[in-house]
Amino acid sequence: MTDCQDDQREMKNLQFFGKINASISHELKNILAIISETTGFVDDLTQLARQGKKFDLSLLENCNQSVVEEIERGFHTIRQMNKLAHTTDMPVASADITEHLDLAVKLTKFLSFSKPVKMVSPEKSVQVETRPFLLVTTFYQLLCELFKATAGDHPLGVKIIAGNNQDATIIFSEYSFDFLPALVSEVLDDAAHLLNFKWETDKSENTITLHLLPAVNE
């Protein structure tokens, strides 16, 4: 890679981190907003009690349950943030493809235009030597482009197939557009060399197939 290409890659990585950061902070603000309104309502009920007025105790139980659920939602959000942060630990590493694709799917759930994803993966872990951070970035961007171009809430299909030689195939299907958005090609072409994969589309089947080859290019 030339210095200029390195700079462009760095900029894209920063942009990706910024985008993820914004969507996660939005999610955390929503969680805090619910907790804030719920505790505010408990305060309102306390005022009622002070005035000697009676209210149904199940209101308090519901508030408590809601706060517990939002705390769990917050932990889930932070877990995804933490997993993403750790994909930068090693520039090149053996990575579980299902885990990394699942992380990308979970990160897209924080977006307002997110769509359901039906993922099918082998029972055994599919390990491929790759660039973990770039792999998640690429999956995330690809999913975003497919969501944007898909109408309705029909689930996007993602199937992971283990190869025989530490390679893997991933098939994206069930998206509902007749043409491939230009950004999909851009995202995949951009990462294909660094992640060492080949990709193709089948217009009659409406599928995008990525074949991740063993060992990434240095």
Partner 1 sequence: MRVILVDDEKKFITMLAKRLKFRGFEADIATSGVDAIKMATQKKYDIAVLDIKMPGISGTELKEKLALIQNELKFIFVTGHGGVMQSDCVLGPKDIYLSKPLDIDILIDSMTSCSEKF
Footprint on this chain of partner 1 (rule: CB under 8 A): 22, 25-27, 29-30, 32-38, 40-41, 44, 66, 70, 112-114
DSSP state of 27: H
**Phi, psi values for residue 185, rounded to 5°:** -60, -40
Minimum Å gap between C-beta 66 and partner 1 is 6
- The rounded distance, in Å, linking the Cα atoms of 35 and 23 is 19
Q: Which CB, 35 or 103, lies closer to partner 1?
A: 35
- Taking the least distance from each CB to partner 1, the nearer of 30 and 185 is 30
- DSSP H or E run through 212: strand 207-212
Contact 84, 208 (CB under 8 A): no
**Closer of 14 and 32 to partner 1 (Cβ):** 32
Q: CB of 54: closest distance to partner 1 in angstroms?
A: 15
Q: Which residues are bridge partners to 94 per DSSP?
A: 129
Q: Locate 116 and state its tokens.
A: 């359901």
Minimum distance from CB of 110 to partner 1 (Å)? 11
Nearer to partner 1, 37 or 186 (CB): 37
Shortest gap between Cβ of 123 and partner 1 (angstroms)?
33
Contact criterion met (CB below 8 Å) for 140 and 108: yes
- Comparison of 33 and 215: residue with beta carbon closer to partner 1: 33
* Least Å from the CB of residue 118 to partner 1: 19
Residues whose CB is less than 8 angstroms from the CB of residue 158 and which lie 6 or more positions away in sequence, other chains included: 101, 105, 117, 118, 119, 120, 170, 171, 172, 173
